[in-house]
Amino acid sequence: MEVLDRIKFIRSLKGWTQADIAEKLAITTQSYAKIERGETDVNLSRLQQIAKVMDVDLAQLFSLDDKNILNLACSNFNTNSLNHCHISSEPIEIQHKIEQQEQEIFYLKEEVANLKEIIELMKKNN
C-alpha cells in the first residue's frame, strides 16, 4: 500500500470526508483530493501535518500493517472490547452498511413472522 493509499485508508477508517481533512489542514477540498489522488507533490512537512490531523505517527503513513490497522480501528471506538475492532482492509463505512443491512434483514424477518401470525388468525376466524 502506497503512502497516499494509506492516507485515504486512515481517513476512511476514521469516517472522515476529504472536506473534513481539508478543513483541518486549512486547504481546499480540491487541494486535498489532489493529494490523495497523487496529482500534487506532497512534501514532508505536509505529510507531518496530515499525520498530526489524523492522530497517527508519521511512520504509520509509511508502514501500515495489520497491527497498525487493528490499533487504528480500535482507537475509533470508546471501548476496549475486541468485538468492536475490525481487522480489515475495507473501510469502516462498508462494514457499517453491512451491519445496517443485517439489522434490516432481522427486522424484516420479524415482520414476516408477524404477518404469518396474522394470516393464521384470519384463517381461524373465517
Q: Name the most confidently modeled range: 66-70, 75-79, 83-87, 109-113.
A: 109-113
Helix (H) or strand (E) holding 8: helix 3-13
Q: What is the mean pLDDT of the chain?
A: 77
Note the pLDDT of residue 102: 82
Q: Cβ(79)–Cβ(86) under 8 Å? A: no
For CA atoms 74, 75, 77, 80, give the dihedral sign: positive
Q: Cβ(26)–Cβ(37) under 8 Å? A: no
- pLDDT average, residue stretch 70-87: 45
Note the pLDDT of residue 41: 86
35-78 residue pLDDT tens: 999 898 888 889 999 999 988 888 777 765 544 554 555 554 44
AA identity, residue 63: S
